Copies of this chain bind each other. A is one copy, B any other.
């Protein structure tokens, strides 16, 4: 069912009035904070839960209200928010391998043709499929609201660093802007 925006709500109107938080903090000086972390991934659609480290960075920033941009500076990784549950992560890997099989032909891995961005590491282990997976999954990072000094994550939401390529040294960045 596709619903156009309506101002009047019959179902949730009361709770909405209670829950709607309206806060504008004006006249404050901005704070900008950055933290970077480095680690080695396991490779092969490895997923790492980085929630505690991101939250730690938010606390350290001293920023109570703003936006946290958690970012992967790699072309075959991404940061995504979803549940960390073994079964689901297996389902996710199965889906991704089905939609983007790594045994197809990828021009990116065809060293008889490729003339750009020559990367010796890629010649050892083809990663054309990992680039395609990255594009399919979306952006390099996630932007998450920060409220009262905490990431506004829902009950089951965790911040996940996803490795689409082989085992590699990787890093992620969190940038927080707010007050």
Contacts and interface: CB of A to CB of B under 8 A. Distances in A.
Q: Binding site of A, secondary structure by majority: helix, strand, loop or mixed?
A: mixed
Contacts of A85: 108, 114, 116-117
The oligomer's copy count stands at 3
A32 B37 contact: no
Nearest to A114: B87
A43 to B, nearest CB: 8
Nearest to A32: B65
A37 B16 contact: yes
Contact of A3 (B11, B29, B46, B100): B46
Contact of A138 (B9, B29, B100, B139): B139
A90 B128 CA distance: 11
A48 B3 contact: yes
Interface in A33-91: 33-40, 42-44, 46-53, 60-63, 65-67, 69, 71-75, 80-91
A62 B26 CA distance: 9
A131 B179 contact: no
A32 B137 CA distance: 29
A32 B21 contact: no
A160 B125 CA distance: 25
A95 B140 CA distance: 19
Interface of A: 1-5, 7, 9, 11-12, 15-16, 19-40, 42-44, 46-53, 60-63, 65-67, 69, 71-75, 80-92, 95, 99-100, 106-110, 113-117, 119, 128, 131-132, 134-147, 152-154, 156-157, 169, 171, 173, 175, 177-179
